[in-house]
Amino acid sequence: MGNLFDYLNWGAIAIAALAYFALGALWYSPVLFVKKWIAYLKIDVNDPNAKKGMAVMFGGSLVMMIIQTMAIAILAERLGIRGDGWMSGLKLGALTGCCFCAATIGVNYLYEKKPFGLFLINAGYALAGNIIAGVIICSWF
């Protein structure tokens, strides 16, 4: 009997996770949403403590993205759409991004009374990241 996850394409999972991570560097940059994100969270960028623990945050984020892309790969395999191309990946990424990521973020933000704009930024990132991961995983042969 083989390993439980032998059927997974770990190369596709690694590339998908790294692409998701790289999207974060763009998403939360001056090019896109960092100014609004900082404003919503009321972060003082001049506070020396604001940058403490960045290595743990980045490393932890990458681990979480590997877990997410692994789950997308499992779903793609179980649904029989791995290798079906980018459109199947887009649909799977949109489904997981909306139904799991954005919905969970939304529930948390309702109870935490966080601004709707912050939800749009963070849930949008999760949705886009899941779509990118789905496209990579479902397009990889």
The Cα 105–Cα 34 span in angstroms is 18
Q: Which own/partner contact pairs does 82-85 have at CB distance under 8 Å and 24+ positions apart?
A: 82/9, 82/137, 82/138, 82/140, 83/138, 83/139, 83/140, 83/141, 84/138, 85/138, 85/139
- The reported pLDDT for the residue numbered 83 is 86
Long-range contacts of 32-35 (CB under 8 A, 24+ apart): 33/121
Rounded to whole angstroms, the Cα distance separating 135 from 113 reads 33
pLDDT in tens, the chain (141 residues): 457 788 899 999 999 999 999 999 999 999 999 999 999 999 998 898 888 999 999 999 999 999 999 999 999 999 999 889 999 999 999 999 999 999 999 999 999 999 999 999 999 999 999 999 999 999 996
pTM of the model: 0.93
Show Cβ contacts of residue 77 under 8 Å, excluding neighbours closer than 6 positions.
7, 8
Say how far apart CA 139 and CA 81 lie, in whole Å: 9
The pLDDT score that the predictor gives to residue 101 is 97
